[in-house]
Structure 1
Amino acid sequence: MGLLISILMAVLIGSIGGALVRNGMPGGFFGAMLAGFAGAWLGSLLFGSFGPVIGGFAVIPAIVGSALFVFMLGLLSQALRKSV
C-alpha cells in the first residue's frame, strides 16, 4: 500500500510541477511520475525536508523541485532542437 501511495504522490507532484512551468512534461502518467520522483529528490537536495510529508515526500520541496526539473528538461529539449 505504501508503494502505491508513493507512486500516486509522485504523479500528483509531477503533474503540479509540470503545470507550474509553461512547457509541460511529456509522457503522460510515466512522465509525471518521473518528474515527481526526480523533483522530490532535487527538492530535498536543494531545500531540505520541510512542510507536510505524504507518502515519503516532503510536498513543498518536491513540487518546487519538480517544477525545476521540468523547466530544466524543457531548456535541454529546446537546446537540442536548435542544434539539429
Structure 2
Amino acid sequence: MSIEGLLLYLVVGAVAGWLAGTLMKGKGFGLVVNIILGVIGGILGGFIFGLLGISMGGILGSIVAATVGAALLLFVIGLIKKN
C-alpha cells in the first residue's frame, strides 16, 4: 500500500468515525479511537454490504460503508459498557 493510499484510508476512517460518533449521539471516544473505529468499521461495513449484495464504489461509498460499520461498533460497545 502506498503512502497516499494509507493516508486516504486514515482520512476515510477519521470521517467515518466522526460521523458515527455524531450519529450515535455523542458516543465517540476522541479522534484517535474514532479513526480506529472508522477503519475497523470500514472493514465491517464492507463485509456487511457484501453479504447484502450492496455494491458501493468510490470515496463516498467507502465513507458510507465505514460509517455504518463504525456506528454498529459504537452501538455494540455501548451495550457492553452498560452492563
Q: TM-score range by the shorter chain?
A: 0.7 to 0.9
C-alpha separation in 2, matches of 1:23 and 1:71: 11
Instruction: Please report how far the alpha carbon of residue 77 of structure 1 lies from its aligned counterpart in structure 2 after TM superposition.
Output: 1.0
Contact kept, 8 Å, 1:43 with 1:65, in 2: the verdict is: yes
**Any gaps of 5 or more consecutive residues in structure 1?**
80-84
Q: Corresponding residue for 1:33? A: 35
Q: Compute the RMSD of aligned alpha carbons.
A: 1.7
C-alpha separation in 2, matches of 1:12 and 1:23: 15
**Any gaps of 5 or more consecutive residues in structure 2?**
none
Q: Which structure dedicates a bigger proportion of its chain to helix?
A: 2
C-alpha separation in 2, matches of 1:44 and 1:5: 16
1:62 aligns to 2:66 (yes or no): yes
Equivalenced residue count is 76
Q: Corresponding residue for 2:77? A: 73
Gap change, CA 1:74 and 1:23, over 3 Å in 2: farther
Contact kept, 8 Å, 1:41 with 1:65, in 2: the verdict is: yes
TM-score normalised per structure 1: 0.77
C-alpha separation in 2, matches of 1:69 and 1:23: 14
C-alpha separation in 2, matches of 1:29 and 1:59: 16
C-alpha separation in 1, matches of 2:25 and 2:79: 11
Q: Which structure dedicates a bigger proportion of its chain to strand?
A: 1
The DSSP-based 3-state class of the residue aligned with 2:35 is helix
Runs of 4 or more, structure 1, over 3 Å off, are: none
